[in-house]
Structure 1
Amino acid sequence: MAEIQENNSKEKKGNKQKKMNIRVDFTPMVDMNMLLITFFMLCTSLSKPQTMEISMPSNDKNITEEQQNKVKASQALTLLLADDGKLYYYEGEPDYKNYASLKETSYRADGLRSLLLGKNREAVRKVREVKEKKARLEITEEECRQEIARIKSGKDTPTVIIKATDRSTYKNLIDTLDEMQICSIGKYVIVDLTEGDRFLIDNYVSKGGLSQNATDRNV
């Protein structure tokens, strides 16, 4: 509680001055603070960690390597995460003789995102329509998730194969996975880089010098 103490000072020039000292007791505020903390702890929901679904290679020994790598060439897109923030890609089967079959892009919106949207535009449109239905309460949350999962796994949607070099960064991988979610890519997998992939990158950097050297040696 607040207390007011009055003190009479000495007369100055015939006038009496009265001073008031105010003392505020904050002890009751401690109980109030504890009640407020308890209230917010009980009424506030804790933030949940954001998770991301990642499709990993199957460990089933009965599945052959040919079956694991069997992807429709027209729908397959392979991303090669290289050093210095470089990002390369090729569509379908790799062409080791033509270095220009490997193309370079970036992690920006006008790079990788534009590439993925171009290959998955129809699925993105359908996912947007489903989310609009959910916003209008025409379908439930569970129905929305099931419908989006069905759209993403459709037979006409692309399959993205992600391969990272030893000198790529975690940021490069996270940026790539973020684009999978933004562009509604439902079929993507992270696999190891092969010697052929390393050859593609080195051959691209050398503007076909490695393939030309190999041809000269065969001659």
Structure 2
Amino acid sequence: MASIDTGGGDSHKKGPGVKKAKKLSTRVDMTPMVDLGFLLITFFIFTATMSSPVGMDLNMPKDTNKDEEQTKAKQSGALTVMLGKDNNVYYYEGELAPDGSNFKQTTFKGIRDEIIRKRKEVIAAYTGNAACEEKAREKGKDPRKSCEDEDFIVVIKPTANATYKNTVDILDEMTINNVRRFAMVKIADTEKELVEATEGK
């Protein structure tokens, strides 16, 4: 509430001369505003919905020992990516060499370049896939574009020292680079040994 203080006294001096205007001072009482502020804060606290932890849904393949139920992938089109500690990324193409000569270390920026390069390599080597192209035609899609990278697959293998963020980041790379076939599987003992040896554990 605002109030005006007229200051009291005469509005002008007696006698001849120019009349002086009254000096007015305005004072605003902020007490009601403070009460309103606390009332609004209390209202929003009690009506706000507490945010629940949000998890990421990840569809994992079913464990099976039957050959007919396992997903087949050409070794020539496979890129295996392993996630280590301290944001380290390791990879190899095709099958891991017995001496580990094709086992390499890189960064997340580097692995993106490798994914792009490998995908282009697989597309360039595409010679046709009758079954895949027939399915694409049935769905009204371009047969070649739908099947040219069919043999390209990224196998993701996080180690025990990999962070949740690293796992999410590598899955994001699959979307960014339009990788349609990828799988997250358990790291093999030989691969784990190579990672630990590289990290000096």
Q: Assess same fold via TM > 0.5.
A: yes
Offset of residue 106 of structure 1:
0.5
Judging changes above 3 Å, is the alpha-carbon distance between structure 1 residues 155 and 50 closer, same or farther for their aligned structure 2 residues? farther
What's the counterpart of residue 76 of structure 1?
78
What's the counterpart of residue 184 of structure 1?
178
Count, aligned residues? 163
Tell me which protein shows more helix as a share of its residues. Answer: 1
Q: How does 1:10-89 map to 2 (within 5 A)?
A: 18-24=22-28, 54-59=58-63, 61=64, 64=66, 67-68=69-70, 70-89=72-91
Offset of residue 121 of structure 1:
4.9
What's the counterpart of residue 120 of structure 1?
119
Offset of residue 84 of structure 1:
3.0
What's the counterpart of residue 8 of structure 1?
8
Letter paired with 1:182: I
| Cα distance in 1 for residues equivalent to 2:75 and 2:176 | 23
Q: Is the 8 A contact 1:88 1:103 kept in 2?
A: yes
Where 2:161 maps in the other structure, the secondary structure is: coil
What's the counterpart of residue 103 of structure 2?
102
Judging changes above 3 Å, is the alpha-carbon distance between structure 1 residues 113 and 93 closer, same or farther for their aligned structure 2 residues? same
What's the counterpart of residue 156 of structure 1?
149
Q: Is the 8 A contact 1:9 1:19 kept in 2?
A: no
Judging changes above 3 Å, is the alpha-carbon distance between structure 1 residues 154 and 54 closer, same or farther for their aligned structure 2 residues? farther
| Cα distance in 1 for residues equivalent to 2:140 and 2:26 | 67
Mark the structure with the bigger radius of gyration.
2
Please say if 1:175 is aligned against 2:179: no
Q: Is the 8 A contact 1:77 1:160 kept in 2?
A: yes
Unaligned runs of 5+ in 1: 39-48, 123-145, 207-219
Output the TM-score relative to the length of structure 1.
Answer: 0.55
What's the counterpart of residue 93 of structure 1?
95
What do the CA deviations read for 1:164-187 (whole angstroms, capped 9, x no partner)?
A: 111222222122122122112222
Please say if 1:165 is aligned against 2:159: yes
Output the TM-score relative to the length of structure 2.
Answer: 0.59
Query: RCO greater where, 1 or 2, for CA within 8 Å and sep 6 or more?
Result: 1
Judging changes above 3 Å, is the alpha-carbon distance between structure 1 residues 153 and 190 closer, same or farther for their aligned structure 2 residues? farther
Where 2:108 maps in the other structure, the secondary structure is: coil
Offset of residue 70 of structure 1:
2.5
Q: What value does the CA root-mean-square deviation take over the aligned residues? A: 4.6
Where 1:101 maps in the other structure, the secondary structure is: coil
Letter paired with 1:96: P
| Cα distance in 2 for residues equivalent to 1:188 and 1:162 | 7
Judging changes above 3 Å, is the alpha-carbon distance between structure 1 residues 3 and 89 closer, same or farther for their aligned structure 2 residues? same
Judging changes above 3 Å, is the alpha-carbon distance between structure 1 residues 10 and 119 closer, same or farther for their aligned structure 2 residues? farther
| Cα distance in 1 for residues equivalent to 2:145 and 2:157 | 21
| Cα distance in 1 for residues equivalent to 2:175 and 2:5 | 67
Q: Is the 8 A contact 1:9 1:17 kept in 2?
A: no
Identical pairs, percent: 34
